[in-house]
Structure 1
Amino acid sequence: MTTLAEGKAPVHLWVVGVLSLLWNGFGCYDYLMTELRNEAYMAQVPPQALAIFDAFPVWAIALWAIGVWLSMLGVILLLLRNRQATTAFLIAVVAVLASFFYQATTDLPQAMGGASYWIMPAVIIAVTIGQWMYANRMAAAGVLR
């Protein structure tokens, strides 16, 4: 008897995988441009935000890096139908939550601390948790080996 992991991947795996690859690709791009201080990219960032980024402790930057890069690794593993995608996404979820918890407990300038500032972190958290849940479902269904 052929298991699902040996057969064809469901179409939704490729749809979710490619969309997640694009989403996480932008996250990796944002991380690299910010950490490398690309002039053209950073010109769009308000000076108050730059001051916040510059004040981040090393461990907070490490959490951001772990969240971004393990999310990308999770997508690659998902597309390769490797069940370790679940582990990569779980670690990414923990890192993302810890990173944004740190940001929520810092003194943000009033221009950055409003409700609209927290929309993107909420979306990032929701997408990362969604990717982890999807990978878990695919592993449970036998799609991931």
Structure 2
Amino acid sequence: MTEVRKTPVHLWIVGVVSLLWNAVGAFDYTMTKMQNPEYLAAFTPEQQAWFAGFPLWANIGWALGVWGSVLGSLLLLARSRHAVSAFAVSLVGLAISCIYQFGLHYGDLMRLFGTFPMIFTAIIWVILIALFVYARKQAAVGALR
């Protein structure tokens, strides 16, 4: 068992910044799934149909990616070692979502949205992998219980 030590300041900073970052994803997911007309007004009808047309397994992947990251951030702030597992679940969800969007429907995605989804998803991957590695490191050094 690792010894629990004083919380480093960087853990609070990373926890708060990651929670804010992931709250944006949670907001996007919630507004899209609730079909909020004001939020979806930024998208063309064809783009809105794209989101509405996700099969169940792709929606599950999207949900795991979003809510796993939110939970991971909250668990980081709670100093729980389970943040590692939450970020791992989020990585699995992101992979599932990417299989649907980029693996099976890349042409449609590019036609509807251009290169933005590819660039933004790459940024999400980098941040999520960094959060997973960070949480593992903090668990290993005893900053998480």
Q: TM-score, normalised by structure 1?
A: 0.90
Q: Offset at 1:137?
A: 0.7
Structure 2 residues not aligned, in runs of 5+: none
> Given that residues 67 and 95 in structure 1 are in contact (C-alpha distance below 8 angstroms), is that contact kept between their aligned partners in structure 2?
yes
Change (3 A) 1:5 1:80: farther
Distance 1:90 1:21 in 2: 16
Structure 1 stretches of 5 or more lacking a match? none
Which of 46, 53, 58 matches 2:44?
46
Q: 1:37-79 deviations in whole A, cap 9, x for unaligned?
A: 1111000012232121122101101110111111111111111
Equivalent residue for 1:14, pick from 9, 12, 20: 12
- 1:65, 1:121 → 2: CA distance? 15
Specify which of 25, 47, 55 is matched with residue 23 of structure 2: 25
Structure 1's 7 and 59: CA in aligned 2 closer, same or farther, altered over 3 A? Answer: same
Tell me the secondary structure at the aligned position of residue 144 of structure 1.
coil
**SS of equivalent to 2:79:** coil
| Alignment of 1:84 onto 2:91 | no
**Aligned mates of 1:22, 1:72 — CA distance in 2:** 9
| Higher relative helix content | 2
> Secondary structure of the residue that 1:108 maps to in structure 2?
helix
Deviates more, 1:105-114 or 1:52-61: 105-114
**1:46 partner amino acid:** T
Paired position in structure 2 for 1:100:
98
Provide the residue aligned with 1:137 in structure 2: 137
- Deviation, 1:36, is 0.3
Matches of 1:117 and 1:66 in 2, distance apart? 18
* 8 Å Cα contact 2:61/2:95 also seen in 1: no
Give the total of aligned pairs. Answer: 143
Q: Which moved more, 1:45-54 or 1:57-66?
A: 45-54
What's the TM-score, normalizing by structure 2? 0.90
